[in-house]
Amino acid sequence: MDELAMRTSSVERKTAETRVSVKVNLDGSGNSNIRTGVGFLDHMLEQLSRHSLIDLTLSADGDLHVDCHHTVEDCGIVIGQAVAKALGDRKGICRYASLHLPMDGTLTRAAVDVSGRPFLVWRVNFTSPKIGEFDTELVREWFQAFAINAGVTLHIETLYSDNNHHIAEACFKALARALRQALEIDPRQDGRVPSTKGTLTG
């Protein structure tokens, strides 16, 4: 892919609560350099990068003395914005993807439409409020922030599970694999927007 066609972007977000910067390459090899100050989130975002093959560099400085909420949500916002920016007019992409992802005793289903219409369906239940020191309710917050800002319709459902760490990790891995398929360039599209409306950006 020539330099002009590279699907890359950078986004920075600065608020009174967080400062987050991110770089993405949608056509990368899954390399990541992530520092959020939240160890569990770092681990999940490394999984996202590795299994989507999106190169991801992210640094965050948030008000962790309060809690992790603002940092987790804002990381979802900037990654979503960066993906949307890198996609541009979304010409030539496959657009749709879905799969079932097993992780030991957990099975999670993800379906994505890179539609320009943000929506999240979340059917995931945790049996504990914490994974280590991480609040399990923040997993949904990250996915909500990502879907809205990436402009994707996203359905995530855990069909059954054996532990909470696997639930969270399977959600991120399932999203990653679905994104990998949906964001791929389809040579049969011949550079067209995969929509009869002719646009996926609004």
**Global confidence as pTM:** 0.94
Considering its fold, how many domains does the chain have in total? 1
Structure tokens at 60: 């965050």
Distance CA 29, CA 35 (A): 19
**192 falls in which pLDDT band (50, 70, 90)?**
confident
Instruction: CATH number of the domain at 71, please.
Output: 3.30.230.40
Helix (H, G, I), strand (E, B) or coil at 57: strand
Distance CA 33, CA 87 (A): 21
> Is 43 inside a domain boundary?
yes
> Is 199 inside a domain boundary?
no
The answer, yes or no, to whether residue 129 has pLDDT greater than 90, is yes
Indicate the average pLDDT of the chain: 93
The answer, yes or no, to whether residue 197 has pLDDT greater than 90, is no
**2 falls in which pLDDT band (50, 70, 90)?**
very low
* Closest by Cα among 60, 64, 7, 16 to 36: 60
Range of the domain at 8: 3-189
> Is 200 inside a domain boundary?
no
> Is 48 inside a domain boundary?
yes
Number of residues that this document lists for the chain: 202
> Is 197 inside a domain boundary?
no
> Is 138 inside a domain boundary?
yes
Provide mean pLDDT across the span 41-65.
Answer: 97
Distance CA 109, CA 160 (A): 10
pLDDT of residue 198: 67
With beta carbons less than 8 A apart as the criterion, state whether 172 and 42 touch: no
